Amino acid sequence: MAIILAGGGTAGHVNPLLATANAITEEYPGTQVVAVGTAAGLETTLVPAADVRLETIPRVPLPRKPSLDVVRFPMIFRGAIAAAGEILERHDAEVVIGFGGYVSTPVYLAARKRKIPVIVHEGNARPGMANKLGARFAATVALTFPSTPLRAAKGITVSVGLPLKRAIEQLSARPGGRKSLREEAAARFGLDPASPIMLVTGGSSGALHMNEVFAQAAADIRAAGVQVLHITGKDKDDAVRAAAPDPGYVVLDYLSDMESAYAVADLAVSRSGAGMVAELSALGIPAVFVPLSVGNGEQALNARDVVSAGGAILIENKALTAEKVRSAILPLFEGDQLETMAERSKGVSPLNAASRLASIAMRLAEER
């Protein structure tokens, strides 16, 4: 029996796929897991590195404006559906779980033709086109955020959260939670575990505007007695390093294991991609979200549930200034505000999404 996981292109699609693959193989030994992606996305490196089999189909982006691509699209799209169907048949697929992106649409359609149950997992608060299509005939639509406007037309809709790396689940499950590693992680970064620590990160690619603002505010942050662990993004650290006033403002261009950063963070200032929102909420880390104003505006929506619960505040990117850091962010370290925010944040995003998806898939496979 094989469970097919479709998704790719960006880390936002690939990471939940890999977390789900891990849950299936750990909890249901002997079950074959096959990922389907394209030859152009992050899946080409991340999936094999995780020891998951990867099959590829042609990448078929929907043409956004009149061009020759519009003429070519039907033929290429039919070819992608045929390629997906061949993969499903060759692996005797029992269930398909799709995570959105270009690759999911052909796989969804190939599965429908063969009456293979489809699970659509939507990671963002605003659903993408592929998952909107898949939801029309999916057996189950699984949501990261309960407020996401996507429902299964003929099946069931459940809110499961975002499948997270096993390391995040393990960090939360430790006796004492993430704070049990605070001293060890602080020593690694050269920080004082007895003093407050702010994590600043724009994600794996960094955020130039956030970097510039915090470089300008660095001296004031340290004067307030707050330490900083600032992850700038690769090759974006020079200006921040130059502005760092003392060893209490630690600058890294990249960190492979964010779990260490989470272990020391009393407050996180970050973008609000679905993965970051889910990880911070699952661990109960208070946050200041600075959504990136790109795409269809999903980053602001991703933060909505945690902000509404009181576990985070939201500052628009254009409103983030050094003065805003001083007037709106540093005061959060006063009194018991962070403790209250941590309590309200934890649990907004569940920790067991990968296990729940695995369980749903196995149930559907047994019912075929």
The pLDDT tens digits of the residues spanning 206-220 come to: 688 999 999 999 999
Q: Is 140 labelled as part of a ligand binding site?
A: no
CA atoms of 298 and 71, how far apart (whole Å): 30
Which pTM was predicted? 0.90
Question: Euclidean distance between the first and final Cα of the chain, in Å?
Answer: 12
Residues 105, 111, 117, 118, Cα dihedral to 10°: -10
Quote the pLDDT of residue 302: 95
Q: Which residues of the chain have pLDDT under 50?
A: none
Quote the pLDDT of residue 206: 63
HEC secondary structure over the chain: CEEEEECCCCHHHHHHHHHHHHHHHHHCCCCEEEEEECCCCCHHHHHHHCCCEEEECCCCCCCCCCCHHHHHHHHHHHHHHHHHHHHHHHCCEEEEEECCCCCHHHHHHHHHHCCCCEEEEECCCCCCHHHHHHCCCCCEEEECCCCCCCCCCCCEEEECCCCCCHHHHHHHHCCCHHHHHHHHHHHHHCCCCCCCEEEEECCCCCCHHHHHHHHHHHHHHHHCCCEEEEECCCCCCHHHHHHCCCCCEEEECCCCCHHHHHHHCCEEEECCCHHHHHHHHHHCCCEEECCCCCCCCHHHHHCHHHHHHCCEEECCHHHCCHHHHHHHHHHHHCCCHHHHHHHHHCCCCCCCHHHHHHHHHHHHHHHC
Query: Per the CATH hierarchy, to which homologous superfamily does domain 171-345 belong?
Result: Glycogen Phosphorylase B; (3.40.50.2000)
CB neighbours (10 Å) of residue 254? 14
CA atoms of 5 and 137, how far apart (whole Å): 17
CA atoms of 342 and 361, how far apart (whole Å): 33
Q: Domain-by-domain residue ranges, the chain?
A: 2-164+351-367, 171-345
CB neighbours (10 Å) of residue 106? 28
Q: What is the largest CA-CA distance in the chain?
A: 64
Q: Is 299 labelled as part of a ligand binding site?
A: yes
Q: Do domains 2-164+351-367 and 171-345 have the same CATH topology?
A: yes
In CATH terms, 2-164+351-367 corresponds, of 3.40.50.2300, 3.40.50.300, 3.40.50.2000, 3.60.15.10, to 3.40.50.2000
Quote the pLDDT of residue 63: 66
Q: Is 204 labelled as part of a ligand binding site?
A: yes
CA atoms of 145 and 121, how far apart (whole Å): 11
Q: Is 11 labelled as part of a ligand binding site?
A: yes
Q: Is 293 labelled as part of a ligand binding site?
A: no
CA atoms of 41 and 205, how far apart (whole Å): 15
CA atoms of 84 and 107, how far apart (whole Å): 5
Q: Is 124 labelled as part of a ligand binding site?
A: yes
Quote the pLDDT of residue 204: 61
